[in-house]
Structure 1
Amino acid sequence: MLSKKINRWVWILGPTIAVVAIPIFIAEYVLTHHALSKGRTELHDIAVTYVQRADDMIAEAITTMKKLKLKGTDNCSIENREAFGRASFESYYIQQVGLATNDGTLLCGEPMGSLISPVRLPATSTGDPSIMIGILSGQHADTQAAVTLRINDTTRLVARLSPKAISLEAGDPRLTGAMAVSVYLDDGSLWWERKSHSERILAPDVIVEKVRSESLPIRVIVAAPPEAMLASVAELSNFSIIGAVVTGIFTLLVGMWISWQQNDGSDEFSRAVSAQEFYPYYQPVVDIMTGKIAGCEVLVRWIRDDGTVVPPGAFLPYAEATGLIREITRQLMIKTVEDIGPLYKANPQLKVSINLTATHFDNADIVSEIRQTYYNSGIAYRQLMFEVTEQHPLRDLDLSQQIFKEIQAMGAKMALDDAGTGHGGLAYLQKLGFDIIKIDKMFIDHVCYDVTSETIVHSLHDIADRLGLSMIAEGVDATDQIRYLQNLGVEMAQGFIFSKPLPASEFVALVEAKANLMPDMPEEEEEVGEYAA
């Protein structure tokens, strides 16, 4: 007894832990990868921005000095000093313009207020390039870039660039607060740097982006710790954790609910299967071109002895996980012969659809079960259709393909249920050889006002048309959806607008009354849906 209780709790806690841990792990992996990739891209963009700013500053200095050279400003006359001051005032990035000797002595510069702490300029010689870029260091270790332009063999124009101009506020504040930026000349001289507020900036896993100017000897290095990048997805990460925990709690409650359905040590669900408390309900499938009933889909209902009905969502996952769905399906097929066998024998044009799950294709037993159940019954093999959902992957496609062929060889049809919502739909179409595609309700709900849904439905219809497959639309609930499907060329549909799933007696009465299930359709004033014909 103790072992059985332990096993029961393992079956409850195992899926619960998996439901919590797996989504969190996947979400963390995806969000982390996305954040780091996005952060690296942003660091690169920031480095490019700094390079562009440095290029612009130096380009402005060179242009300004070339204009002054053309005006003959080769001495410190009052007129030339006024020109230097005016050039500085009219520029965006220049702090001072002046003249200097080749040995680095500043002869004059305007405005003089920018030289509170004058420093010696880099020395040059007559063989040096006409334009040079250097870095000046102040008394407080402040650095400043200076650009010089040779006027003659002894004199150069010099433009000192504002240190503030290179400082930028670019990027996400959550990233830039922890980011370090360094701007260097190619000779290794540090022009400007912005230090990080994070102690992690020196860690070995820090992310670094380097960008070099294409035209000038300037390079920029930008670095940030990974934590700064992950801050951008912290909120999404919290949501994923909360969602996983909520789902885990729900899974735990469902597991406990199933566990509590114990009676004197026997499993309530297994007892219900043994007692055959599962009944087929029949939802009509309608020819929407005529309104006539073309057949039905068999849907399972758990009706206890006391008359209470358990919704399918509360037991089907458990039935599939334990494999009991196979016995339930076998019972449902037998009951269809009892419920609607005489009706189908009298109406050979009707079809009946039965759902199969991935577990039915683990071996070929389902083939013999179909053959034994429907052989010489009121329901002919050619009136049968078996739906296979995409929601759970088939474990052995080769075996599944063989089972498909044997079922189809009897004359029955195979339908791809919930097309486009699960695992390997296109691969299934290619490998397994379906006869029918069923369009899921999630697409039908939005066909009249959502372009994406219309595109998917239209694409499925195009695939079916090219492969010679029939189509059935599920979950049709509105007349505009019917009109859209009619215009698209889909002939078969089911949904609450026609009829809810019915017990056998009501479905039989409905068919025998030759009921027309088409609702009153408003006059079509314009085309319904983007892809309506």
Structure 2
Amino acid sequence: MFRNATKIAGYMSFGVLGALLLTMGARGVLDWQTRSEVEEGLNVSAQLMLERASEATQTTIKVLNDLANSSGLSCTHDHRYLYSDAVRSTPWIDTIGLVDRNGNLVCTDLGQSSRQKGLLSTYDTNDPEVMLSLSEGRKEGEMASLLVIRHITNGRRLVARVPGELIRIDPVRNELRRFRVAMLSLGNNEPWYILEALESGETSVHVRAMSEFMPFEVNISVSKAALDVIAHQPRKMINAFGFILCAIALVGGFLLGRYRPTEGDRILAALDNGEFVPFMQPIVCLETGRITGCEVLTRWNKPDGTVVQPHEFIPLAQNYRVTREVTNRIMEDARDVIAPLIDGGGDLKVSFNLFSSQLVDEAIVDDVQSVFGESSVGYTNLIFEVSDRVPITDLTLAKDIISRIQALGSEIALDDVGSGHSGLYNLTSIGVDILKLDKLMVDAIDQGLAGTELVKGLIELAARLNIGVIAEGIETERQVVELRRMGVSAAQGYLFAPPLPASSFAELYKASRALASQKDAAPEELDEAVNAA
């Protein structure tokens, strides 16, 4: 009970931690996205402020340039009319005046002025033709105005005033205005106007933009509270989503903690852990005693050292539909052992047992091609055994799959003949290439004339059908003698070797080949000695 509770708590904690991390990550992304959107919006606002100030200034400069083309400008009625007409030509200028060399205002478009001393500095020949300057508001609380100054001649200058009220705009989005501070400056030291924040706070986003052609600069900043306002609703949704995820994690962790893996899950886990391993029982030529092939069998070696026999796990694999995974793993492991033997000059026949369910599943053909398609273990080296003990549910589909396997160059063997349910029907109905006599039939040889004649009849029938024969379960030399007399040339059984670990089979096969090579070489050496004598 305690171990189960601990496991449940672990799963639940892991799930909640994952949900919290996901929620925090989502909030981080939201904050980054909000900050980026706000920064982008402030940049747009800064550009709008710059464009308005630049447009007003450029328009004013053009107006003054046009006036400067008139000769002999002074404070006469006609000239003041020109000034007034120029003011009316644009919405940016509220007055135009004439300033003498000493910087005193002589007159404006509104009329003759008593001299306003010191409006501008005394003219300097080094002054540029056009200058910009800021003047204080004429009344308390009034915004500063921009003075656009155009030199005419002899130190006299035209001055146009652009009121700050005409330039001032606040393009920042509405929900940010109470948190923003915006300033338009002439250069970087002379503020033209400032938009104050209603709520102060630590600056979170700041943008700075400068005009390309005019000496204007805009700085806009907003406090962290502005980001919180914009992200408030999305954060609520993310928090709700995180709460739901935590709830799901708690429930999921609880269910995972209570989950008991099925035998199918255990088989898949064992495959991942490499617990299913191939064993190989040699198939021996009864004429020469050489190993000509092997039958690949499956063993389940558990970590605790126990071995699960095929008759125990095969029904489980079939019941939980994991036969394909088991077969593929065994074929891959066997291929890796057999390929070096064939590369070394061997000519082995390797036999695999197919589950009955695979005979009605076209995936087996693709699996065979996937495992052996690029291997030195060719299709012609392969034999696939079909058990005579298990009925075939869809004979038509099974025949099609078998014919496709045979088309690759592989052979089909009917296994367990003599102990199965179908008698001799499958021998001809599915077009097998090899008949494998069951141990029960082989044991019948030792039980008298009747058993011997029964085995002999099956072997003679296979010969007439051009079907090869392999005898299984050979345990006595008498069985070997009788089977050879009946025409059987291949057999397997404990008389020769039990099912061996793959590496042990490989060593046995190499030793068998070496011994056979020595025997083949001996007659040749004897012939050479006789000829020399």
Scaled by the length of structure 1, the TM-score of the pair is 0.50
Q: CA deviation at 1:336?
A: 6.3
CA distance in structure 1 between the aligned counterparts of 2:162 and 2:321, rounded to whole angstroms: 92
What RMSD, in angstroms, separates the aligned Cα atoms of the two structures? 4.8
Q: Which amino acid aligns with 1:195?
A: E
Q: Percent sequence identity over matched residues? A: 14
Decide which moves more: 103-112 or 49-58: 103-112
Is the CA contact 1:210–1:220 (under 8 Å) kept in the aligned structure 2?
yes
CA distance in structure 1 between the aligned counterparts of 2:243 and 2:153, rounded to whole angstroms: 77
Q: CA deviation at 1:65?
A: 1.0
In the alignment, structure 1 residue 377 sits paired with structure 2 residue 366: no
Q: CA deviation at 1:215?
A: 2.1
Partner of 2:199: 198
User: Secondary structure of 2:353's match?
Assistant: coil
Is the CA contact 1:137–1:143 (under 8 Å) kept in the aligned structure 2?
yes
| 1:141-183 alpha-carbon deviations (Å, 9 max, x no partner) | 6311110111222421111002123222324323344222222
* Mapping for residues 242-321 of structure 1, pairs under 5 Å: 242-257=240-255, 267=258, 269-270=259-260, 273=262
Partner of 2:12: 12
CA distance in structure 2 between the aligned counterparts of 1:228 and 1:386, rounded to whole angstroms: 62
Distance 1:409 1:71, change over 3 A: same
Q: Which amino acid aligns with 1:12?
A: M
Distance 1:147 1:366, change over 3 A: farther
User: Secondary structure of 2:131's match?
Assistant: strand
User: Secondary structure of 2:239's match?
Assistant: helix
Q: CA deviation at 1:195?
A: 1.5
Partner of 1:179: 180
User: Secondary structure of 2:21's match?
Assistant: helix
CA distance in structure 2 between the aligned counterparts of 1:54 and 1:354, rounded to whole angstroms: 75
CA distance in structure 2 between the aligned counterparts of 1:11 and 1:106, rounded to whole angstroms: 85
CA distance in structure 2 between the aligned counterparts of 1:160 and 1:193, rounded to whole angstroms: 19
Gaps of 5+ in 1: 260-266, 281-326, 342-351, 388-405, 414-504, 515-533
Partner of 2:209: 211
User: Secondary structure of 2:262's match?
Assistant: helix
Scaled by the length of structure 2, the TM-score of the pair is 0.50
Q: Which amino acid aligns with 1:69?
A: A
Q: Which amino acid aligns with 2:175?
A: R
Partner of 2:149: 148
| 1:296-350 alpha-carbon deviations (Å, 9 max, x no partner) | xxxxxxxxxxxxxxxxxxxxxxxxxxxxxxx9xxx99855657999xxxxxxxxx
Is the CA contact 1:102–1:156 (under 8 Å) kept in the aligned structure 2?
yes
In the alignment, structure 1 residue 409 sits paired with structure 2 residue 371: yes
Q: CA deviation at 1:510?
A: 11
Is the CA contact 2:11–2:256 (under 8 Å) kept in the aligned structure 1?
no
Q: CA deviation at 1:253?
A: 2.5
User: Secondary structure of 1:45's match?
Assistant: helix
Distance 1:339 1:248, change over 3 A: closer
Residue from 212, 216, 219 that aligns with 1:221: 219
User: Secondary structure of 1:236's match?
Assistant: helix
Q: CA deviation at 1:106?
A: 2.1
Is the CA contact 1:119–1:137 (under 8 Å) kept in the aligned structure 2?
no
CA distance in structure 1 between the aligned counterparts of 2:26 and 2:199, rounded to whole angstroms: 26
CA distance in structure 1 between the aligned counterparts of 2:223 and 2:117, rounded to whole angstroms: 36
Distance 1:277 1:125, change over 3 A: closer
| 1:28-78 alpha-carbon deviations (Å, 9 max, x no partner) | 221222222232233223222222222111111111111122234722222
Distance 1:75 1:171, change over 3 A: same
Is the CA contact 1:88–1:94 (under 8 Å) kept in the aligned structure 2?
yes
User: Secondary structure of 1:94's match?
Assistant: coil
Distance 1:509 1:22, change over 3 A: farther
Partner of 2:62: 63
User: Secondary structure of 1:160's match?
Assistant: strand
Q: CA deviation at 1:365?
A: 9.5
Kindly name which structure, 1 or 2, has the bigger radius of gyration based on alpha carbons: 2
User: Secondary structure of 2:179's match?
Assistant: coil
